[in-house]
């Protein structure tokens, strides 16, 4: 997206991904299928995430790698503003990413990861639509977390959970929003791909 197109765009999509390195991705899945297959599956999830994000119109896409920017990978620099995730826990990383987007005057900011094989363009569009009416939108995940979070104004309280790898992440996040007087909307519930059962049930046919 050119600078002129970016200036006309009020929506930002943040994408958190891991650099696809054997032995570093989908480790719980790898315990069942091995590192090679886990990497193959993760690359399929990346390709799906990329396809969905490119399907969004009038949206500035910011791609956050976990370790290093890959200048010559499948993520075109014409379509994605490439950055690196900050240090700290997941909340700190997301807080930094949202601040980065809001500092550039985007009015609606949504973040997704790369672990959901079910997510679609319409899910993300519904998130932006919800932000016309509420402060925060979440896409609930079946494991108790969320696959999407969206804000229309920056509010650090959203990212201040004490623990992020639990089955109460969404519940606690909503409680934080409620305590801060923030209105919340929920999208449909989807499954992240964390283990072999998830992949067999909610993954792709291959």
Angle between helices 121-130 and 35-54 (to 10 degrees): 60
**pLDDT tens, residue by residue, 106-117:** 999 999 999 999
Tokens 């976990």 appear where?
A: 66
Phi, psi of 166 (to 5 degrees): -130, 170
Token pair listed for 142? 């079946």
- pLDDT of amino acid 9: 84
Q: What is the mean pLDDT of residues 153-174?
A: 94
pTM: 0.94
pLDDT of residue 92: 97
Would the pLDDT of 7 be above 70? no
Q: What is the CA radius of gyration of the chain?
A: 16
Which H helix or E strand runs over 41?
Answer: helix 35-54
Predicted confidence at residue 2, as pLDDT, reads 47
Task: Return the domain boundaries, the chain.
Answer: 3-200
**What is the secondary structure of 162-185 as a DSSP string?**
S-SSSTTHHHHHHHHHHHTT--EE
Q: Which of 38-42, 44-48, 164-168 shows the lowest per-residue confidence on average (mean pLDDT)?
A: 164-168
Does position 64 have pLDDT exceeding 80, yes or no? yes
Instruction: Give the CATH superfamily of 3-200.
Output: Spore Coat Polysaccharide Biosynthesis Protein SpsA; Chain A (3.90.550.10)
Calculate mean pLDDT across residues 118-132: 98
Distance, in Å, from the CA atom of 51 to the CA atom of 49, rounded to the nearest integer, reads 6
Mean pLDDT of 81-105: 97
Instruction: Tell me: pLDDT of 8 over 80.
Output: no
> What pLDDT is stored for residue 205 in this prediction?
61
Among 2-6, 74-78, 146-150, where is mean pLDDT lowest? 2-6
* Residue 52: both structure tokens together: 């969905």
pLDDT value at residue 167: 93
Neighbouring-strand partners of residue 47: none
Closest CA to 130 of 151, 115, 114: 151
């Amino acid at each position: 997206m050119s600078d002129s197109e970016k200036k006309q765009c009020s929506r930002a999509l943040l994408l958190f991904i891991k650099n696809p390195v054997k032995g570093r991705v989908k480790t719980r899945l790898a315990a069942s299928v091995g590192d090679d297959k886990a990497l193959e599956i993760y690359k399929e999830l990346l390709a799906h995430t990329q396809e969905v994000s490119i399907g969004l119109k009038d949206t500035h896409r910011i791609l956050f790698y976990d370790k290093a920017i890959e200048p010559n990978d499948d993520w075109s620099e014409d379509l994605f503003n490439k950055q690196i995730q900050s240090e700290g826990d997941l909340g700190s990383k997301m807080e930094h990413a949202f601040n980065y987007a809001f500092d550039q005057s985007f009015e609606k900011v949504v973040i997704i990861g790369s672990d959901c094989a079910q997510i679609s363009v319409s899910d993300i569009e519904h998130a932006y639509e919800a932000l016309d009416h509420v402060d925060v939108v979440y896409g609930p995940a079946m494991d108790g977390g969320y696959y999407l979070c969206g804000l229309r104004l920056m509010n650090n309280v959203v990212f201040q959970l004490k623990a992020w790898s639990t089955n109460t992440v969404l519940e606690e996040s909503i409680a934080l929003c409620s305590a801060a007087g923030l209105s919340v909307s929920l999208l449909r519930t989807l499954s992240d791909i964390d283990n072999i059962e998830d992949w067999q049930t909610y993954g792709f046919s291959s």
